[in-house]
């Protein structure tokens, strides 16, 4: 009996000892930064100084890119977030928070871990826990009973003006001149009947503009107006029509605008799904292919191209935000780039612009086959860049530069963050990173001086940058961060002496490039947070995404610190990324991180997703400060939940209730839609969103007319025949009033 008891005790001791050894092994692996699971073995030999042999994957290298480590179907929150890939800043933040939390959980010293009990609650390590977007918020089904109603003309003018000023230049989804003609006719003395699809597009524009007005406030305002317009658009065209109707150009416009609207609501999972629908609809109509039909005039071709490249842009941005693969890869489209021009008239046949072959002579604008930076060799690229600089600047030339950059960034995400890297080895990744780094160099060096945002030495230009310069700068630095992020990893630890193993020279240089891009992006922001700048100068729909990309990189580097660099024989070691006295020193990183957190705090006063992002970054930097002895003076401690941000039925007073004298005005036709006074416009009834604009008898009659009469604007995006009896004088006055100098 005694021997049996002794054997049983020994067996129990062995089980306990084995458990402790396993726990210790886990801690050692975490300390060394080794991956916890097996990695695919490369099929080619790695270079001796490759990052995979000198650094770990624990802070988000490309290892594990071909697998999912959690059940994304397990809860409503995980389903709302969905899969988040390696090139998303959400995944970078998850790794940062996870490592810091595990360190707090296990204790700094290995001895502390011996007291860890197996039954303790596991560390929260799900991707949903670091998703600062609002995918988990329910979008209430709008109860819209007045789908064919229109707002007062003064308010409609303001909303249309806001859309053209804040969205259209970067995303020319609609054909501006034609749509404005139709808009003017709808509000004329003899209004035309636009039909469901055209009204859906108009209401989506109104919803987006209402969102801009709400976010531009110092504190959060009611989202009642945008919900009302969104509900109208949905009931008119974007519900069952998506399933049952075959796509046409106006349907594609409505779907793309809905994707953009959901993006502006920080509903990126839903937005990603909707832009997928818009993309398939566009492909179904062949918008991704070159047009050879001679019946299309040049403007019709250009409007279709601009619609396609707007969809392409949204697909790319959302793929980066979610880290998901984009199916718009190599060979997906043959449609040519959007044509830059000096003025809108330059798209009319017969307009002359300088020829790239002979800048002293002139040629037709449509006669030059402009191509992407990605596809041109150096000598042809230099010739094209010279031509682009010669024709000057315009909204359309800005759009070309933007999409040209997006094409490079899309190639980066498809080629660098690709599962074939795991099979071909790190040498392939190094080659691709080097290639696309040169492409980005070529792009930024070829910008017209009016769009350039860097000086000759790479620093920011003096003076106040324009809206176009700010947009291109933020997109450019974001591309640099994405390209070089895989090399910003924890170093391996020498198990004998505990020293950090040096990074390869390539890893160090790319880490430096990633940090410099992050610092450059934060430097674009004004020194003091400015809500007016955020929503009138910056690309407001993805500003939070850009700030979080750079902030997460800064926090990662601050948590890692300087890492030694390998040196060749008889050569002095390079200065490591983050070393004192460098641009990327700890002091400079901390100053930029503080600035970023102040911006997040300010944005969080009116935007719930920004508030959530601030809380994540704030808790992370304070964890880092405890171990790195950082001075966080000037960093706000917390920000309250954005007041007024709610998807409930309780709403605040309208944020668009402004005096009529402040509204831009079109030619004052006294149509049936404009018979309500500005005082009636301000009346808001909490019984429902539709009560914002109480309908008079005349308006109800007009609504019925819109519903039952023939829809002459539902045929095509190119339906010039539908517009008649519009005087040139009225059109010119309307264009100048509504669009100012942004006519495209």
Encoding tokens for residue 368? Answer: 């030059």
Q: How far apart are CA 282 and CA 256, in angstroms?
A: 10
Q: How far apart are CA 652 and CA 645, in angstroms?
A: 10
pLDDT at 56 over 90: no
Q: How far apart are CA 384 and CA 184, in angstroms?
A: 39
- Per residue in 696-725, pLDDT (tens digit) is 333 443 444 444 444 455 444 443 333 333
* Residue 618: per-residue pLDDT: 95
* Residue 648: per-residue pLDDT: 36
DSSP 359: T
Q: Which residue has the higher pLDDT, 570 or 364?
A: 570
- Per residue in 148-206, pLDDT (tens digit) is 889 999 999 999 999 999 999 999 999 999 999 999 999 887 877 888 899 999 999 99
Q: How many CB atoms lie within 10 A of CB 693?
A: 22
Angle at 258 between CA 466 and CA 666, to 5 degrees: 60
- Per residue in 273-288, pLDDT (tens digit) is 999 999 999 999 999 9
Q: How far apart are CA 336 and CA 343, in angstroms?
A: 20
* pLDDT cut 90: percent of the chain above it: 39
* Residue 464: per-residue pLDDT: 83
* pLDDT cut 70: percent of the chain above it: 65
Residue ranges of alpha helices (H) inside 461-503 are: 467-484
Residue 677: which pLDDT band, with cuts at 50, 70 and 90? very low
* Residue 697: per-residue pLDDT: 37
* Residue 691: per-residue pLDDT: 29
* Residue 479: per-residue pLDDT: 98
pLDDT at 441 over 80: yes
Q: 274 with 255: CB under 8 angstroms?
A: yes
* Residue 30: per-residue pLDDT: 40
Mean pLDDT over 23-28 rounds to 40
Encoding tokens for residue 162? Answer: 């806001």
Residue 550: which pLDDT band, with cuts at 50, 70 and 90? very high
Residue 197: which H helix or E strand, with range? Answer: helix 196-215
Sign, CA torsion 714/716/717/722: negative
- Per residue in 377-407, pLDDT (tens digit) is 888 898 898 888 888 788 999 999 999 999 9
- Best mean pLDDT range from 305-319, 650-664, 668-682: 305-319
Residue 7: which pLDDT band, with cuts at 50, 70 and 90? low
Mean pLDDT over 673-681 rounds to 31
Mean pLDDT over 366-370 rounds to 67
The residue with tokens 């920011």 is: 460
- Best mean pLDDT range from 15-19, 496-500, 631-635, 646-650: 631-635
Q: 134 with 504: CB under 8 angstroms?
A: no
Burial environment of residue 122 by CB neighbours within 10 A (0 to 12, 13 to 18, 19 or more): exposed
Q: 387 with 357: CB under 8 angstroms?
A: no
* Residue 716: per-residue pLDDT: 47
3-state secondary structure 417-441: CCCHHHHHCHHHHHHHHHHHHHHHH
Q: How many CB atoms lie within 10 A of CB 225?
A: 28
Q: Picking from 41-55, 392-406, 677-691, which range would have the lowest pLDDT averaged per residue?
A: 677-691
* Residue 10: per-residue pLDDT: 52
Q: Phi/psi of residue 34, each to 5°?
A: -75, 150
pLDDT at 453 over 90: yes
* Residue 462: per-residue pLDDT: 67
Mean pLDDT over 73-97 rounds to 88
Record the pTM: 0.78
* Residue 567: per-residue pLDDT: 67
* Residue 495: per-residue pLDDT: 79
For the chain, the farthest-separated pair of C-alpha atoms sits apart, in whole angstroms, at 110
Q: How many CB atoms lie within 10 A of CB 354?
A: 21
Nearest Cα to Cα of residue 125 among 70, 74, 63, 85: 70
* Residue 487: per-residue pLDDT: 86
* Residue 244: per-residue pLDDT: 74
Encoding tokens for residue 639? Answer: 């920000």
DSSP 576: P
Q: How far apart are CA 207 and CA 274, in angstroms?
A: 16
- Per residue in 191-242, pLDDT (tens digit) is 778 888 999 999 999 999 999 988 877 555 556 788 889 989 988 876 666 6
The residues spanned by each domain of the chain are 151-326
pLDDT averaged over the chain? 74
């Amino acid at each position: 009996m005694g021997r049996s008891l002794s054997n049983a005790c020994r067996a129990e001791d062995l089980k306990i000892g084995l458990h402790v050894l396993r726990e210790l092994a886990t801690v050692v692996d975490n300390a060394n930064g080794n991956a916890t699971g097996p990695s695919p073995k490369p099929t080619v030999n790695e270079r001796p100084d490759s990052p995979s042999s000198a650094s770990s994957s624990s802070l988000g290298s490309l290892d594990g890119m071909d697998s999912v480590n959690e059940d994304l179907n397990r809860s409503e929150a995980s389903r709302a977030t969905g899969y988040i890939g390696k090139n998303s800043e959400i995944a970078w933040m998850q790794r940062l928070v996870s490592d810091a939390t595990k360190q707090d959980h296990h204790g700094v010293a290995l001895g502390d871990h011996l007291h860890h009990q197996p039954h303790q609650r596991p560390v929260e390590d799900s991707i949903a826990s670091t998703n600062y977007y609002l995918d988990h918020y329910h979008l209430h089904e709008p109860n819209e009973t007045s789908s064919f109603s229109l707002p007062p003309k003064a308010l409609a003018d303001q909303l249309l003006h806001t859309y053209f000023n804040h969205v259209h230049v970067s995303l020319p989804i609609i054909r501006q001149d034609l749509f404005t003609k139709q808009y003017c006719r709808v509000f004329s003395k003899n209004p035309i009947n636009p039909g469901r699809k055209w009204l859906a597009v108009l209401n989506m524009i109104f919803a987006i503009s209402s969102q801009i007005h709400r976010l531009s406030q110092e504190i959060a305002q009611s989202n009642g107006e945008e919900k009302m317009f969104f509900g109208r658009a949905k009931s008119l065209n974007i519900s069952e029509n998506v399933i049952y109707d075959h796509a046409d150009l106006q349907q594609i416009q409505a779907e793309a605008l809905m994707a953009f609207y959901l993006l502006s609501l920080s509903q990126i999972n839903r937005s990603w799904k909707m832009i997928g629908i818009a993309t398939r609809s566009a492909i179904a109509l062949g918008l991704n292919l070159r047009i050879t039909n001679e019946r299309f005039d040049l403007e019709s071709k250009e409007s279709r191209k601009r619609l396609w490249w707007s969809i392409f842009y949204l697909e790319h941005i959302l793929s980066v935000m979610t880290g998901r693969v984009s199916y718009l890869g190599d060979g997906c489209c043959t449609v040519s780039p959007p044509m830059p021009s000096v003025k809108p008239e330059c798209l009319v046949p017969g307009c002359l612009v300088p020829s790239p072959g002979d800048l002293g002579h002139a040629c037709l604008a449509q006669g030059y086959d402009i191509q992407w930076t990605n596809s041109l060799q150096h000598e042809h690229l230099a010739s094209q860049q010279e031509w682009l600089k010669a024709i000057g600047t315009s909204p359309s030339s800005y759009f070309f530069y933007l999409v040209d950059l997006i094409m490079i960034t899309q190639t980066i995400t498809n080629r660098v963050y690709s599962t074939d890297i795991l099979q071909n080895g790190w040498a392939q990744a190094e080659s691709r990173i080097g290639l696309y780094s040169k492409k980005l160099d070529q792009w930024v060096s070829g910008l017209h001086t009016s769009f350039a945002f860097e000086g000759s030495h790479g620093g920011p230009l003096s003076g106040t940058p324009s809206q176009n310069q700010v947009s291109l700068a933020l997109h450019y630095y974001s591309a640099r961060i994405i390209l070089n992020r895989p090399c910003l990893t924890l170093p391996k630890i020498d198990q004998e002496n505990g020293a950090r193993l040096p990074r390869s020279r390539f890893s160090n240089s790319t880490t430096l490039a990633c940090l410099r891009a992050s610092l450059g992006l934060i430097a674009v922001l004004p020194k003091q947070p400015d809500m007016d700048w955020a929503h009138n100068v910056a690309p407001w729909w993805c500003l939070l995404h850009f700030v979080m990309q750079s902030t997460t990189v800064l926090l990662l580097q601050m948590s890692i610190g300087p890492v030694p660099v390998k040196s060749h024989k008889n050569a002095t070691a390079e200065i490591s990324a983050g070393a004192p006295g460098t641009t990327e020193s700890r002091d400079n990183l901390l100053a930029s991180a503080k600035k970023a957190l102040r911006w997040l705090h300010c944005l969080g006063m009116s935007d719930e997703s920004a508030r959530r992002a601030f809380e994540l970054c704030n808790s992370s930097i304070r964890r880092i400060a405890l171990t790195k002895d950082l001075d966080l003076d000037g960093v706000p401690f917390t920000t309250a939940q954005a007041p007024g941000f709610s998807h409930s039925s309780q709403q605040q007073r309208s944020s668009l209730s402004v005096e009529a004298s402040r509204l831009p005005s079109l030619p004052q036709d006294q149509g049936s839609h404009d018979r309500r006074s500005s005082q009636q416009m301000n009346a808001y009834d909490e019984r429902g969103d539709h009560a914002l604009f109480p309908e008079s008898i005349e308006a109800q009659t007009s609504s019925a007319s819109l519903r039952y009469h023939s829809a002459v604007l539902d045929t095509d995006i190119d339906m010039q025949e539908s517009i008649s009896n519009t005087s040139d004088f009225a059109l010119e006055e309307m264009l100048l009033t509504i669009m100012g100098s942004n006519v495209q």
